């Protein structure tokens, strides 16, 4: 623990040297949605906020950005019963006989337990970002940005809060312990669950990683989100969270040991726009295309870096059409409709499997339409509908889905 503090202090002590002024500006970048069971799902369960300052690091170049972003959230999560917690082998790679012998969070001994648990967590993210050269399409922007950052996470996995409420079953079926409070197999002090390293021992997790991001940005300047976007950008992001980087501090053993690389490229083009007299838009439309390739290496992948369906590689292609309706009352009151087509290829070995032998290829196609109403930059009312086609490891049928919600969000 002391080492976490020390690292954090060292980073903080560097700021005054680099910064023009010692004070940092505060910002709030998001307020998380509520969850049912907590105040009707209406009240926020977490907040993301931070502090930033713009020191001049290099003469003649644009100012750098130093930012500390902090977030916390108190949500429920569900235990994933799809992987053998001792070997990490996925259910889909097992025969029926193997499945019966496997250590899964499923079957008879789990019938009296709910798989839901309380997962309070908090993240600290610190980075320094320096831009070089002018972006030809945006006078205020830079062409190449180099960002060096550090991300630290703390999370607890505890019994679901509703258990402690009267009339909700009380202590009848806790997830991690017996009714007398003693640990229930396979959890407890000294427990090691290679497939779920964040559930080891006392289930308190400290994990962190360093990251380096190179961004090439040739996007047009869009002061508000209601404007049609145009331009292209490429990002390369490398994340490194080895075990020796404060990831083995707790008695729970190594919480993280991974390396992850992501390449992202996107292009956007305006199709049309019709202006109002006051400089707002009646409507506008742009089309976008992006590709995202990521791969994660390492034998202990932390919870926040587990890829979809646990396959180490992901290649995603997205095409979207974005239609913005009239701006009204204020510049950031408008509606938009976005049609998306995602094609995702997941491939490679299964993450957090000890033997490292199981591999698969999976293809997902998702079509979705999103309708959003934004009011004053911080209220968002959203409706989404989509159609999924999944081919690969799960015996899924194509299906329609929809969701709607209201959220409070700050985008500036």
Partner 1 sequence: MLILSLPLYSIGFGYHVFDIRTEPEFGKGIFPTSVMYQFNFPVPDLIENCKTEFAFRLDNGLEYRTLRQDPVTGEYFAKKPWAYDYPHEYTVHFDEFNLFFAQGFIDTEFSDNDLLTAFVSIDGRFEMAFERLSWMTDPDSKEGVFWDENGDYRFPEEELLPGAPELSDDRSMFQTYISFGLNVDYMDDDVTTRDGIKGSTYVRLSPEWMILTDGTGSFVLWETEIHGAYTLFEKPMVSKKDFTWFSLVLDDKLAYRYLHGDRIPQYIMGGELWGPDVPASSSAITNRLSLSLYGPQLGKDTYPSITIFWDFGLGLGRMLNSSSSMRIAETVASYGIRAEFVIAGIAEFYYEIGCSYDPVFNEDTYVEQRFGFSIGV
According to CB under 8 A, which residues from 173 to 232 bind partner 1? 174, 176-177, 179-183, 189, 202-203, 206, 223-224
Site for partner 1 in 143-172 (CB under 8 A): 154, 156, 158-159, 161, 164-167, 170-172
Place of tokens 């950005």: 65
* CA-CA-CA-CA torsion sign (116, 179, 187, 251): positive
Options 118-126, 129-137, 190-198, 229-237: segment touching partner 1 (CB under 8 A): 118-126
Helix (H) or strand (E) holding 99: helix 96-101
| b/e map 28-52, b = 16+ CB within 10 Å | eebbbbbbeebeeeeebbbebbbbe
Task: Please give the residues from 341 up to 370 whose contact with partner 1 meets the rule CB under 8 A.
Answer: none
Assess 14 for contact with partner 1 (CB under 8 A). no
The one segment of 329-337, 351-359, 382-390, 393-401 that binds partner 1 by CB under 8 A:
329-337
Q: Which is nearer to partner 1, 42 or 406 (CB)?
A: 42
Please select the residue that binds partner 1; options are 274, 330, 363, 406, rule is CB under 8 A.
330
The DSSP result for 20-74, as a single string, is: SSS--EEEEEEEPPP-TTSGGGTS--EEEEEEEE----STTSPPPEEEEEEEEEE
Task: Please give the helix or strand (H or E) that residue 349 lies within, else none.
Answer: strand 334-350
The residues in 381-410 that bind partner 1, with binding defined as CB under 8 A, are: 410
Q: How far apart are CA 145 and CA 246, in angstroms?
A: 27
Q: Which is nearer to partner 1, 9 or 81 (CB)?
A: 9
Distance CA(380)–CA(410), nearest Å, equals 10
Give min distance, CB of 139 to partner 1, in A: 19
Residue number, 188 or 392, with CB nearest to partner 1: 188
Least distance to partner 1, CB of residue 64, Å: 16
Site string for partner 1, 43-62 (x = CB under 8 A): xxxxx-x-x-----------
- Closest contact distance (angstroms) between CB of 253 and partner 1 is 18
Restricted to residues 18-37, the positions that interact with partner 1 (CB under 8 A) are 19, 21-24, 26-28, 31
What would the DSSP string read from start to end of 365-404?
EEEEEEEEEEETTTEEEEEEEEEEEEESSS-PPPEEEEEE
Considering the complex, state which of residue 89 and residue 124 has its C-beta at the smaller distance from partner 1. Answer: 124
Please identify, using beta-carbon distances, which residue of 51 and 259 lies nearer to partner 1: 51
Q: Give 192's contacts (C-beta < 8 A, 6+ positions apart).
A: 200, 201, 253
């Amino acid at each position: 623990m002391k080492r976490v503090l020390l690292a954090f202090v060292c980073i903080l002590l560097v700021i005054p040297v680099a910064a023009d002024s010692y004070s940092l500006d505060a910002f709030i970048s998001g307020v998380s949605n509520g969850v049912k069971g907590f105040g009707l799902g209406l009240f926020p369960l977490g907040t993301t906020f931070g502090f930033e300052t713009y020191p001049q690091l290099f003469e003649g170049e644009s100012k750098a950005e130093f930012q500390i972003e902090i977030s916390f959230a108190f949500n429920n999560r569900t235990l994933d019963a799809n992987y053998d917690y001792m070997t990490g082998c996925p259910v889909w790679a097992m025969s029926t006989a193997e499945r019966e012998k496997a250590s899964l969070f499923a079957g008879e001994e789990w019938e009296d337990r709910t798989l839901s648990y309380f997962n309070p967590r908090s993240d600290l993210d610190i980075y320094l970002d320096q831009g070089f050269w002018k972006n030809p399409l945006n006078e205020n922007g830079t062409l190449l940005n180099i960002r060096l950052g550090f991300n630290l996470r703390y999370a607890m996995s505890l019994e679901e809060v509703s258990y402690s409420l009267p009339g909700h079953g009380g202590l009848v079926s806790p997830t991690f312990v017996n009714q007398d409070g003693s640990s229930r197999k396979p959890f407890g002090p000294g427990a090691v669950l290679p497939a779920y390293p964040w559930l080891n021992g006392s289930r308190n997790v400290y994990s962190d990683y360093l990251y380096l991001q190179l961004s090439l940005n040739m996007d047009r300047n869009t002061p508000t989100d209601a404007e049609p976007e145009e331009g292209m950008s490429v990002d390369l992001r490398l994340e490194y969270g080895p075990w020796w980087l404060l990831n083995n501090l707790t008695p729970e053993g190594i919480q993280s040991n991974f390396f992850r690389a992501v390449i992202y490229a996107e292009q956007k083009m305006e199709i049309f726009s019709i202006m109002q007299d006051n400089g707002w838009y009646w409507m506008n439309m742009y089309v976008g295309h992006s590709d995202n390739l990521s791969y994660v290496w390492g034998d202990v992948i932390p919870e926040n870096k587990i890829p979809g369906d646990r396959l180490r590689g992901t290649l995603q292609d997205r095409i979207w059409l974005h239609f913005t309706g009239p701006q009204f009352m204020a510049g950031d009151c408008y509606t938009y409709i976005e049609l998306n087509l995602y094609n995702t290829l997941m491939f490679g070995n299964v993450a957090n499997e000890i033997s490292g032998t199981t591999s698969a290829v999976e293809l997902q196609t998702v079509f979705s339409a999103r309708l959003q109403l934004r009011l004053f930059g911080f209220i968002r009312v959203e409706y989404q509908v989509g159609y999924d086609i999944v081919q690969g490891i799960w015996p899924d049928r194509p299906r329609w889905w929809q969701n709607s919600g209201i959220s409070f969000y700050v985008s500036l």
